[in-house]
Structure 1
Amino acid sequence: MTFQKVNISSEDDVYFALSTVRRLMKQLRFSDLEQQKVFVSVSELTRNILDHAGRKGIFYCEIFDHGLRIEVLDQGPGISNIDDVLDGKKTPSSRGLGLGLSGVKRLMDEFYIETSTGGTKVVAVKRGRK
């Protein structure tokens, strides 16, 4: 199992997280399309930290069982309108690529979210070919 951690507090950290994922995916049998889905998801999740969580969060990524598991943690204010967000309803503060969490949910094979006033945790998994 290969595990990587990136502290997210700036735009450079987003690029470092993307570079980290690119390096890890070289070990997996993902199609170009599947790789792009992961890159878009990582971009959305890490930019959410910058845009909504006070620029303080952690990105984890690990290879497991022919797949990739991504976990993003922040200590932001939480997502009060989580149902709207997961339904893809944009908010005025939305920036990113326009897909948001609902896009990540569609692009990845598994998606879990926990949110409270103490922060948010998102776990997303993309399974590769065996």
Structure 2
Amino acid sequence: MTYQKVNISSEDDIYFALSTVRHFMKQLPFSESDQQKIFVSVSELTRNILDHANSKGLFCCELLDQGIRFVVTDEGPGILHVEDVVNGKKKSSSRGLGLGLSGVKRLMDEFQIETSTRGTKIVAIKWAGKKL
């Protein structure tokens, strides 16, 4: 099992997280399409830390047997109306790619979110070779 943590507090940290993910993905047979979905998801999740969580959060990436898992945590104010945000019914202002959490949910194979006034935790998994 391969595991890497990246503290997210600046743009450079986002690039480091993407570089880490690129290295991990080389170890599994992800299609080009799935690789792009993973990169977009990582970009959105880490960008949210800078935009909505006072630029303080943690991105954890873990290589699984046949997939890759991200755990993103922050100590921000939480997400109001989380179901609307995750289901794409409510947009928040962001400098990301515009897909937000609803986009990440669609792009990844598994997606879980826990949020409160003490912060947010998101777990997302992409399985190599999975056909939806």
Distance apart, 1:80 and its partner CA: 1.2
Distance apart, 1:121 and its partner CA: 0.1
Q: Which residue number corresponds to residue 21 of structure 1?
A: 21
Q: Which residue number corresponds to residue 36 of structure 1?
A: 36
Distance apart, 1:94 and its partner CA: 2.4
Q: Which residue number corresponds to residue 91 of structure 2?
A: 90
Distance in 1 separating the partners of 2:95 and 2:14: 14
**Within 5 A, what are the aligned runs for 1:38-53?**
38-53=38-53
Are 1:57 and 2:57 matched, yes or no? yes
Q: What percentage of aligned pairs have identical amino acids?
A: 73
Q: Given the two structures, how large is their TM-score scaled by the length of structure 2?
A: 0.95
Q: Which residue number corresponds to residue 110 of structure 1?
A: 110
Distance apart, 1:126 and its partner CA: 0.2
Q: Which residue number corresponds to residue 120 of structure 2?
A: 120
SS in structure 1 opposite 2:63?
Answer: strand
Distance in 2 separating the partners of 1:56 and 1:99: 21
Gap runs ≥5 in structure 1:
none
- The ranges of structure 1 where at least 4 consecutive aligned residues each deviate by more than 4 angstroms after the TM superposition are none
